[in-house]
Amino acid sequence: AQSVTQPDARVTVSEGASLQLRCKYSYFGTPYLFWYVQYPRQGLQLLLKYYPGDPVVQGVNGFEAEFSKSNSSFHLRKASVHWSDWAVYFCAVSDRGSALGRLHFGAGTQLIVIP
C-alpha cells in the first residue's frame, strides 16, 4: 500500500543556512508526490508537486524537491532559510495518479528557524 515516511519529526536550522527535509515513499509504480506547508494556525498550502518527468521540481518561495526512484525519496530543499519558513512540512503521495486521488500524508516535519 502507498505510504509516506518523514523520518524527522523536528529539524532546527539557522537562518540563512541550507535545508533538507526528508521524505521516503512507498508506491507500486510511478508516484505523484507533493509537499505541503502548514504555517501556525493555518491550513495546509501546496509548496510543489511532482509528476513523472524532470526529477527536480521547483516550488514557491525558493523551495525545490528531487525525486529519486532508486531511493524511493522525495526530499525538500532550500538554499537559504528565512525565519518565515518556520512551519510544519508534509510530504504526500497520491494513490491514483493525481492530487484528486486519495492523498496519503506523512506525519510532518516541524521546521524551527533560529536567528
Partner 1 sequence: EAAVTQSPRNKVAVTGGKVTLSCNQTNNHNNMYWYRQDTGHGLRLIHYSYGAGSTEKGDIPDGYKASRPSQENFSLILELATPSQTSVYFCASGDFFQNTLYFGAGTRLSVL
Question: In the complex, which residues of this chain contact partner 1 (CB under 8 A)?
Answer: 4, 6, 9, 32, 36, 41-46, 49, 51, 90, 98-100, 102-108
Shortest Cβ distance from residue 60 to partner 1 (Å)? 12
Q: Which is nearer to partner 1, 36 or 67 (CB)?
A: 36
In the chain, what is the greatest distance between 2 CA atoms, to the nearest angstrom?
42
| C-alpha cell at position 78 | 532550500
CA 63 from centroid of its chain's CA atoms:
9
In angstroms, what CA-CA distances link 9 with 89, 99, 101? 10, 24, 26
Q: Which is nearer to partner 1, 15 or 99 (CB)?
A: 99
Shortest Cβ distance from residue 49 to partner 1 (Å)? 6
Q: Which is nearer to partner 1, 79 or 112 (CB)?
A: 112
Shortest Cβ distance from residue 42 to partner 1 (Å)? 6
Q: Which is nearer to partner 1, 69 or 102 (CB)?
A: 102
Which letter, b or e, does each residue of 64-78 get, where b requires 16 or more Cβ atoms within 10 Å of its Cβ?
bbbbeeeeebbbbeb
